[in-house]
Structures are given as C-alpha cells and as structure tokens.
Structure 1
C-alpha cells in the first residue's frame, strides 16, 4: 500500500470518526432501533435523556428548557448531527397544555438554537402527524395541506417545528411527521390492539371501514439516517408512512396470523354497532373507526427513502418473532 493510499485511508477514517450523532430520547421505543442502525452505518452515538439511566452507552443529562443556552452548547461539544426524539409522546388528557409546550416545544427550541451555533451537520426532529391534523382526515393528507392540529400535543409539536425553522437559518434541519409507529415492544394503542388480537374469541371488526396509515419502526429510523445524509431534505418537512393503509380488521387479522391463529372476524350491522356505541358511551371512538387517517409519504420517497410497501407482512413477521 503506497503512502498516498495510506494517507487517504487515514483521512477517510478520521472523517468517519467525526460523525458523532447526539440522540435525545435514545432509550425509548424508536431510539433503541435508531442507535442500532446508526452504529451499523458507521456513526458514533452520544445519548442524552431527561431521565438518565445506566445503559450500554454513557447517557448525558438533557438540560431543561429553562436552563441557559450554554448548557445546550456544552451538550453539543464535538457533535456533528442531532436527532431529537425526546418528548412527551402521544395525546393525553392527563398532560396540560403548558407541560406539552415546555417539553415538546421550548426544549426543542433551545436545542435548535444551540445546534445552529455548534453543529456542522444536520438536526433531524421527529414531530408527529398530529402536528398536521387530528385523529381523522378526509382524503389523503400530504405536506401541502395546511396544518390544523386538534389537541395540545399536536399544537406543541407544530410550534416546535416553527421554532426550529426560526433558529436555524442555514436550513440544516429536517422535520419528520411520522404516523403511528409499530415494531417490537410497541406501547400505547398498538400494545392494546395486540392484547385484543391475542384473545381467543371472534371479534366484530370485519366491516369497520376506517383506514389508518402505519409506519414500520425500522423504516422510520432509516428515514432519519437518510435525512442526515441527503441534502435534498434540508429545511423540509416530510410525512413518514408505509405505502399501504390498513383497516382495524386487517391489523387484527395480520396480528392473529402472525400468532398462528385464524383471524376470526365477523361483521355486525351498522345499527347494532350504533346501539353498542351509545350504550358504552363510545360514539366518538366509533366515528374514528369509521373514518380514515391516510397519509402520503411520496415527498420523502422522491428524495430516495424507501417506504415499506406491505405493512401486513411486517406485522405478521413481528408477531411470529415474539
């Protein structure tokens, strides 16, 4: 190996070492998979969390939104890229508007202000589809549709997006709006759905028409890494979703097949479902099951990211892997 080749190899290795990604919320559902993919892609990872716990990698304390900006600048010392996952996740009546705004907007704003001064690479922020719309939407939602969040969670996420754009005039950021994310050890509504699917009883879900866009966790993490590397994503907002939407019946059927069971779904007449919804005071939930939340990720796909084509196969595979 000649001297020039050795020098070039050393230079490339040095560049690789400098690709240090700070991941906030790295211990969470998305963060654990993202760390695995980042390391596989050759990045170094630095973790930061609001609640530090011992782990495989050292975890730094994420400053509070009311800490001085210098605390965030110190956190970003020797960092090239930032992926901001930390947040109060999901809409909940037990969380106040002020709490959402502090954790999901103001903390993000401080991190973006520091990133503008400190990093040479990108900041990727995981917002939410709820920054753009409520729990249902007529038609197929895309980034050109005016955002109309319907709850404090969504409003805080949308406000955080605006803070990032204002703080980072070099446009070295990307904002992602993922739909509902599924994967191993998913929490929230998907965990409840898996428990329902595991019950050895027929379920009256076959005729429910509402369709939902879902997002594979590994595909979301691949989208984050894609945005760190692809200049076409600079300063842009992208919806992230699998290509195909599913009904609730299709989700349950896929889970049950993955568990090795038959789907065992049947239909009930609408007037019976209406009566059940009235008796159980679930009219709002019934309306959500009858209406759609279908989102298009074609804008992100046009930059080179590859979306999951068939989530049914992914869901079946997840259940078989348990």
Structure 2
C-alpha cells in the first residue's frame, strides 16, 4: 500500500523541523509548503512554494494529500506583534487553508494550536479539554479563533493544544532555562513550588502520528502534555544532571524572590517561574495515546545533547 501523503506547513520552524523528520521516519510521504524557493529538505516527496496569507491557491500543495499538518503561524514569542497580525497569520490563514483542504477532499486537518488557546500563563487547577477556554493574550485568542473556524468547516480536524514544548533548537522560556542551568553558580530557585506540564518534540510528534492514524472522526481540541508536571527546581536538577553537575539550588522563599524581581523591574518573570500551568492529555489518552517521554528524563537528555 502507498504510504499516506501529508502536506506540512511550517517545516522550517522549531516544531515543524522536528515534525518533518519524525513523519518521514515513520514512513509518511511529506510534501512541504514553503514560503520561498529554496533547497528541498531531504526525505520528502515534494515541496510547493506558496503564501499562507493567500491560501485560496493551494490546489497544487493539497492535490492528492491524505492529511494536512499545519504548524506554521505567528509564534507566541513575538509578543510585540499587533493583534491584527496574530489574527491574519494564526486565524485567517488557518481558516483559508482548511477550506482549501476541504475542497481538495483531504481526510484530516491537524492544527498545531496551543495551551494558550485554553488558558493564560498560569492556572490554579490541572487543565483538561473539559475546561472552558479562557485565553488572555492576542496569541491565545488567535489560536482559539482558528479552532472555532475549523469547527465551522466540513473537514475532520484535530486542534492540538501542546503545553510548553522543549527540544533541540528551542527558543523562549525553555532556552532561557537551559542557559540558567549552564550558569556556573548556584541558583536561588530551590524554593519554587509551582508545577508546569511540558512536552518534548518527540512526544508531540508521537501525538501528531496518533491523530493522523485515529480511525474515527475527531473534530475537537486535544491537549498534548507529558504525564507528570514538574517544578522549576526539578527542571534545573534534570538539566544539570544532563550536564554532569549537581543541582546547585538555593531554597530562597518565593515571596523574597518575587520582591527581588520586582525591585529589578522583572515582576513578570515571577509568574513564569513560580506560577503553575499543569495539564492532562485526557482526550489523547482516550485514543490510547501516552507520551513516550518522561519529562525529567527528556530534559536530562536534552542538556546532555547540547540543547
């Protein structure tokens, strides 16, 4: 039998690069959609140059495709981007691509959404898909609006809501945490108790494979998270273990650390360090999926490999 053909967007981004490698390794034929001409990535069946901001001309990209995996978009790290830009690149481009996929009779549309479509940067409970979505910033609102657009299109879809993703080539908060772990001095983070769910690029790719293979219609959002949330001290301990070092953590009370950050004009960093954002992949578990990576081990291996 011919292997399924997946049309992939965002193949040059952090997540997209890993998805391209993982899908081809699992036997899928992959056709990438590129924004500009360039060297064809290895191991794929073809590439099409096109503009997601004008997805009405996607017939060549989607012809014969069994599924679309849409990982392109304006990233959360672009915090200074206007709300209209998030709407254009994350909502309207997704809507147009899904409509084109429906016209091309693509079987399933897999959208890389975000946990921020469901929650702000922290939550006081473990999140599941049963919780009403309550995004708090333009990025999260644009992702939720894209999910709502998909629900109005006649195509089977899965809107994956990954928590914070880590892996080689990572940026943003996880890259900053790895830089801290590499620092040669003790860190005053041992007293932090907030717990966060993470997901490795390996686990995320496995979840994408699971929804591509699911036999029944999905048409819903699905959280993607590894099984056990971890605290910042546990993250640092795992990363430093991968670097062959002791944890080197000083248990400064959260209140004192928060006051120190406020004095230096970095109050927003306190929520990112001390706040909790734990989530459970209940929907994927119902499909029989379990994350193949345990977070502490994944972080250790990431640091050992050089991040």
Q: TM-score range by the shorter chain?
A: over 0.9
Q: Which residue of 2 aligns with 1:61?
A: 49
Deviations 1:107-144 (A, max 9, x none): 10110001111134211001000001100001111111
Q: Which residue of 2 aligns with 1:9?
A: none
Deviations 1:230-267 (A, max 9, x none): 03462121000001111111111111110011110011
Q: Which residue of 1 aligns with 2:251?
A: 267
Does the CA-based 8 Å contact 2:206-2:292 persist in structure 1? no
Deviation of the 1:53 alpha carbon: 3.3
- Bigger radius of gyration: 1
Q: Which residue of 2 aligns with 1:202?
A: 186
Deviation of the 1:32 alpha carbon: 2.1
Q: Which residue of 2 aligns with 1:281?
A: 265
> Greater helix share, 1 or 2?
1
Structure 2 matches for 1:154-233, cutoff 5 A? 154-168=140-154, 170=155, 172-232=156-216
Q: Which residue of 2 aligns with 1:24?
A: 9
Q: Distance in 1 between matches of 2:206 and 2:277?
A: 23
1:38 corresponds to 2:23: yes
Deviation of the 1:39 alpha carbon: 1.8
1:90 corresponds to 2:94: no
Query: Scaled by the length of structure 1, what TM-score is found?
Result: 0.89
Deviation of the 1:37 alpha carbon: 2.3
1:101 corresponds to 2:81: no
Q: Distance in 1 between matches of 2:23 and 2:37?
A: 20
Q: Distance in 2 between matches of 1:60 and 1:217?
A: 25
Deviation of the 1:290 alpha carbon: 2.7
CA RMSD of aligned residues (A): 1.7
Deviation of the 1:303 alpha carbon: 0.3
Give the aligned length: 303
Q: Distance in 2 between matches of 1:106 and 1:288?
A: 29
Unaligned 5+ segments in structure 1 are: 1-11
Aligned partner (choices 86, 89, 111) of residue 97 of structure 2: 111
- Relative to structure 1, the CA distance from residue 199 to residue 165 in structure 2 (aligned partners, 3 Å threshold; closer, same or farther) is same
Does the CA-based 8 Å contact 2:5-2:64 persist in structure 1? yes
1:79 corresponds to 2:65: yes
Q: Distance in 1 between matches of 2:216 and 2:164?
A: 25
Q: Distance in 1 between matches of 2:254 and 2:261?
A: 10
Aligned partner (choices 106, 109, 119) of residue 133 of structure 1: 119
1:256 corresponds to 2:244: no
Unaligned 5+ segments in structure 2 are: none
Does the CA-based 8 Å contact 1:121-1:228 persist in structure 2? no
Q: Distance in 2 between matches of 1:306 and 1:93?
A: 32
1:150 corresponds to 2:107: no
- Relative to structure 1, the CA distance from residue 256 to residue 51 in structure 2 (aligned partners, 3 Å threshold; closer, same or farther) is farther
- Relative to structure 1, the CA distance from residue 308 to residue 229 in structure 2 (aligned partners, 3 Å threshold; closer, same or farther) is closer
SS in 1 for 2:80: coil
